Amino acid sequence: MSPEPVVVFAAVSLPFVAALLMPLAFRLLGERTGYLAAGVSFLCFALLATQHGAEGVVSLAWIPSLGISLRFAVDGWAVLFALVASGMGVLVSIYSPAYLHGESGLARYYAALVAFLGSILGVALAADLIALFVFWELTSLCSFVLIGFHTEDDSSRYAARMSMLVTVGGGLFMLAGFLLLAQAAGDPASFDLAAMLAEPGPVRDSLREAGLFVPALALIAVGATTKSAQVPVHFWLPSAMAAPTPVSAFLHSATMVKVGVYLLGRLRPLLESPEWSLLFSALGLATMLVCAMLAVASTDVKELLAYSTASHLGLMVAGFGFASGYGAEAGVFHLLNHALFKAALFLIAGIVAHEAGTRELAELGGLRHELPFTAAITAVVALSMAGIPPFSGFYSKELLFNATVEAAGQIPGAIGWLYPAVAVLASVFTVLYSVRFLALFFGSRPDGLGHVTRPAPILLVSPAILGALTAVISVSPGIAIETVVRPAVDATVTEPREMPHVIPTSYSTAVGMSALAIGLGLAAYPFYGRFHRGIGGLSAAIPPVAATWWYDAAIDGLERAGRGLAARVQNGLLRTYATWTLGATCAIALAGFAAAGALSGTMVELEASIPIALVAAVAVVAAIAVVRSPSHVVGVLTLSIVGFMLAIVYILASAPDLALTQLVVETLVLLVFLLVIEEIPESAELPVPKFSEMALGRVGRDAVLSLAVGATAFVTVLVTTDARPEGASEIARYYAEQAVPEGGGTNIVNVVLVDFRAFDTMGELVVVAVAAISVLTLLVMRGRGEDA
């Protein structure tokens, strides 16, 4: 079955249209706008569900001259991710109105939320590298708006800026990587990702030949790892928890942070290689371990979940890193499981914070009495997170353990066994913090905890649905595997194979690893406080251990450098501004000419009659006199000489209209100058210092700059006139020939001004009118007390 273009385009564009209408809808519906957003998300979900099982590409021309089009590919992997995103959009939109009751800025919130849904669907379906990049950065922008939802809150703004810098910056690296891919894909560059994935061999070979395989891989990896919060750029994710909890559930656990993982799955058939495996399996496992440890050190419920999310993202990245089929299966299946259980956990954390009034882990506990239903859901999803059989997280983690064992077997020596060892160690910490989260409900109740209210029933709907789905996959993983996971895995591997049974029937190394991890985790739980303090104390004792320290240092340094530069370049003195601007312009222009090779071999020709040369010489002499003029009046009069000489040049250059205009304007300028100068007493004039008294250093500097500017202008005229085509240009001929038939006038310049380019002339008149009004304002308004 091939995809239905109308349906696919409708599914991606619908949220954007809805985003535009949200402010209007908010006026009509108020806080119930959330249900409208849920409706939009559900419509997208339904539209995409009809494409389940379809495979193929639909496209719409966008920038045909560059070979860029709005191309969407539908396959199992795209559909799985798009369904997860839109389904999560529905649940989060249902949850939001009750959670954000009474907050301001909700129109912006819902607009950003649905716009984000559109962007993420775009990422999921895009099969054109440029379209993919645009949607990718759009998700970062929406995330920026949503993290900064509390605009008046400093920490919220700080977090929004941090996530923006990290993810958008990473996206730019990815763009560079995409350009390398596009170069390798064909000549002229082709951005068609679907074609590359269909024929990965030639692209890979041409990248290898050019020696650009590793750079391209590294650049794309930067994009994917920043987005998916891998070590060492994992630090933005916990900060992003400044966002309202529904946003954390939607963007920062289930969807946006997964686009990095998604991209790895997408590009895996294209870039799969030993370098790929080494990079991503090592990076993923490192993240899995480091972030699981940091989760144990967390003091805040959402912080714990954020680190845990980064750790699970590491699991998926590692999965896609391993070359084996197990790896891809682990990545895909865990993406689904994690989206379900982690979003539920975030929504539960939101309920706890909402009802108990605190998110501090130390202040919470034993909530099962007040929140029995929430506690039941938590039990399912938290055990799934821990990877305890028979919950869903166990199955996908088993697949990863299998992948690590397989990879270890292929690497000679003991070093390969680092893979399984790190995976098990990370899982021990996973068990630890999962149990800690469960203790919020099942542990003992701290004395300080005040009255906990019952949540509104509507808040429980979304976590209950997620919990139920997790339970279904736990009981019968086959259903999910057959319907969505296997088609997705097929799209991310080069050689499709039969998906293994995930419910273990006999002992294997992977089962042993799970047992070891769970056993050690449970055994270590009584010492949780020690781990918690130990890991937390390490980063407090040595600040550079924490990644945020580096971020803050870099940003502070940038800000300081920026302030220093501004004080130097823009110090309030006009000459400083002029010096920097003119100097930079000259440098750039000359460098441009040099780079373009325009400076060599120009034919020097006079192209001016002797009269023109003489008159021009007089103009230059007059200009020198202006510079050396002892008083304002003398200077103004000599300045006029320059203008009138140029008028004569225009006459000699067959431009009578210019000469006329120049004469009129010159006369007017002279009058205006004299009128103004008359008002300024001579005492205000700055005396022109005698040459012997001049501050030689300053004058010398000015002279050097002036000569540089003059030389640049000279060279520019030479270079441009040298490049001028022979004879009259096409457009000049057109104007000359059409002046009479089209414009009905014999003076071609006049016809051009009032007919062919009449809009330019109108703009010019506007400029003169604005100048006149400004002059009037400046002169007249002073007496009337402008300040008042």
Partner 1 sequence: MTAIVLAATVGALFALGTFLMLRRDLVRVVWGLALVGQAANLYLLTAGEIAPATHDAVPVLAGHGEVPETADPLVQALVLTAIVIGFGMTAFALVLSYRVYEEHGTLDLAEIGGREVSEGRERTRSDGGDRR
Q: Is residue 596 involved in binding partner 1 (CB under 8 A)? A: no
Given candidates 414, 595, 606, 788, which one binds partner 1 under the rule CB under 8 A?
606
Minimum distance of partner 1 from residue 758's CB (angstroms)? 11
Q: Report yes or no: 343 and 253 within 8 Å, Cβ to Cβ.
A: yes
How many Cβ atoms are within 10 Å of 281's Cβ, its own excluded? 24
Given candidates 665, 694, 696, 742, which one binds partner 1 under the rule CB under 8 A?
665
Distance separating alpha carbons of residues 391 and 409, to the nearest angstrom: 28
Cα dihedral across residues 288, 292, 293, 295: positive or negative:
positive
Minimum distance of partner 1 from residue 282's CB (angstroms)? 46
Which of 508, 761 has the CB closer to partner 1? Answer: 761
Angle between helices 129-147 and 154-185 (to 10 degrees): 180
Minimum distance of partner 1 from residue 242's CB (angstroms)? 20
Minimum distance of partner 1 from residue 239's CB (angstroms)? 22
- Angle CA 282–283–288, to nearest 5: 100
Given candidates 28, 414, 541, 604, which one binds partner 1 under the rule CB under 8 A?
604
Residues whose CB falls within 8 Å of the CB of residue 559, separated by 6 or more in sequence, listed in order: none
Which of 300, 755 has the CB closer to partner 1? Answer: 755
Distance separating alpha carbons of residues 668 and 252, to the nearest angstrom: 66
Q: Is residue 566 involved in binding partner 1 (CB under 8 A)? A: no
Which of 46, 769 has the CB closer to partner 1? Answer: 769
Q: Report yes or no: 142 and 119 within 8 Å, Cβ to Cβ.
A: yes
The whole-angstrom distance between residue 55's C-alpha and the CA centroid of its chain comes to 29
Residues whose CB falls within 8 Å of the CB of residue 483, separated by 6 or more in sequence, listed in order: 52
Distance separating alpha carbons of residues 383 and 385, to the nearest angstrom: 5
Distance separating alpha carbons of residues 114 and 95, to the nearest angstrom: 14
Which of 273, 661 has the CB closer to partner 1? Answer: 661
Q: Report yes or no: 88 and 250 within 8 Å, Cβ to Cβ.
A: yes
Which of 475, 707 has the CB closer to partner 1? Answer: 707
Q: Is residue 593 involved in binding partner 1 (CB under 8 A)? A: no
CA dihedral 757→762→768→770, nearest 10 degrees, is -140
Given candidates 452, 608, 637, 641, which one binds partner 1 under the rule CB under 8 A?
608
Which of 212, 753 has the CB closer to partner 1? Answer: 753
Mask: binding to partner 1, 667-686, rule CB under 8 A, as x and -? -xx--xx--xx-xx---xxx
Which of 475, 665 has the CB closer to partner 1? Answer: 665
DSSP 767-784: HHHHHHHHHHHHHHGGGG
How many Cβ atoms are within 10 Å of 3's Cβ, its own excluded? 22
Distance separating alpha carbons of residues 193 and 747, to the nearest angstrom: 56
Interface with partner 1 (CB under 8 A), residue total 104
| 316 burial level (CB within 10 Å; 0-12, 13-18, 19+) | buried
Given candidates 8, 509, 703, 788, which one binds partner 1 under the rule CB under 8 A?
703
Pairing of strands 68-74, 56-63: antiparallel
Task: Name the DSSP letter for residue 485.
Answer: I
Given candidates 479, 582, 601, 700, which one binds partner 1 under the rule CB under 8 A?
582
Given candidates 22, 129, 293, 748, which one binds partner 1 under the rule CB under 8 A?
748
Which of 218, 608 has the CB closer to partner 1? Answer: 608
Q: Is residue 164 involved in binding partner 1 (CB under 8 A)? A: no
* Binding to partner 1 in span 624-653, by CB under 8 A: 624, 626-627, 632, 635-636, 639, 642-643, 646, 649-653
Given candidates 65, 505, 654, 692, which one binds partner 1 under the rule CB under 8 A?
654
* Binding to partner 1 in span 714-743, by CB under 8 A: 714, 716-718, 720-722, 724, 728-729, 731-732, 735-737, 739-740
Q: Length of the chain in residues, anyone? A: 788
Which of 24, 588 has the CB closer to partner 1? Answer: 588
* Binding to partner 1 in span 749-768, by CB under 8 A: 749, 752-753, 757, 760-761, 764, 767-768
Minimum distance of partner 1 from residue 275's CB (angstroms)? 50
Which of 60, 732 has the CB closer to partner 1? Answer: 732
